Structures are given as structure tokens and as C-alpha cells.
Amino acid sequence: MRTLVLASILVLFLASAGCEQGEPVPSDDRPVVVSLLREPADTSVERTLTVAWRFRIADGWHLYWDGLNDSGAPPSIELDLPDGWSAGTLRWPAPQRLVSPGG
């Protein structure tokens, strides 16, 4: 799990390179902003960590859930963990149903 945290931090830094200080918000040129959350915040002691990615999504945009979808794929996360580290199964929040016009 410690590797999961390190990989997540790397992803966060790469995704936020060049951002202004403060939490970025979605915009026309970046409709989805991803941030890293972790619990507990202290990673100096070996223990189980819970890591989450928060997706802030601009109005009119959406992501697909990791479930039965007939039109899209969910976000994917690839981890390269060091020896001795492991990651559990990804868990997803319950989806919000999106009803589009005509359907």
C-alpha cells in the first residue's frame, strides 16, 4: 500500500505541474481535475493506507462507472509497486444515473 501512496503522489505531481497554488478547478481546457486523498496522512509508520482520487468534473462532462456500461469505459489506474507492497481491489462510489435527452 505504501507504493500505492507513492505512485499516487507521483501522478498528482505530474498532473498538477504548472498549476497555480490552491486547488485547481475544472475549465474549458481542463474539464476534469484529479486530486489525491489519503488516510492516514502520516505515512512514516507501516500500516494500511486508504488512497482515493477525487475527480472534479466540469458541467456537461462525466466519467463512466466501473460497472455495466454500454457506452464507455471507466477511468483506469495502473500501479507499479515496489517489492513487498500490495494494493487492494479498487472500490468505486455508487454511480449517479445520467439520463440524457431522448433516452
Q: Is 90 inside any structural domain?
A: no
Q: What are the pLDDT digits (tens) for 51-103?
A: 888 889 898 888 887 777 677 888 888 888 778 878 888 888 887 777 777 75
Q: How many domains does the chain have?
A: 1
Label residue 20 by pLDDT band (50, 70, 90).
Answer: very low
Q: Is 35 inside any structural domain?
A: yes
Q: Which residue in 54, 52, 18 sits closest to 33, CA to CA?
A: 54
Question: Is residue 17 a contact partner of residue 24, using CB atoms and an 8 Å limit?
Answer: no
Q: What is the pTM of this model?
A: 0.57
Q: Is 56 inside any structural domain?
A: yes
Domain that holds residue 73: 1-14+29-82
Q: Is 46 inside any structural domain?
A: yes
Give yes or no for residue 16 having a pLDDT over 60.
no
Q: Is 89 inside any structural domain?
A: no
Could you tell me the CA-to-CA distances from 79 to 6, 61, 85 in Å, in that order? 10, 26, 11
Q: Is 100 inside any structural domain?
A: no
| Phi-psi label, residue 22: left if phi above 0, alpha if psi -120 to 50, beta otherwise | left
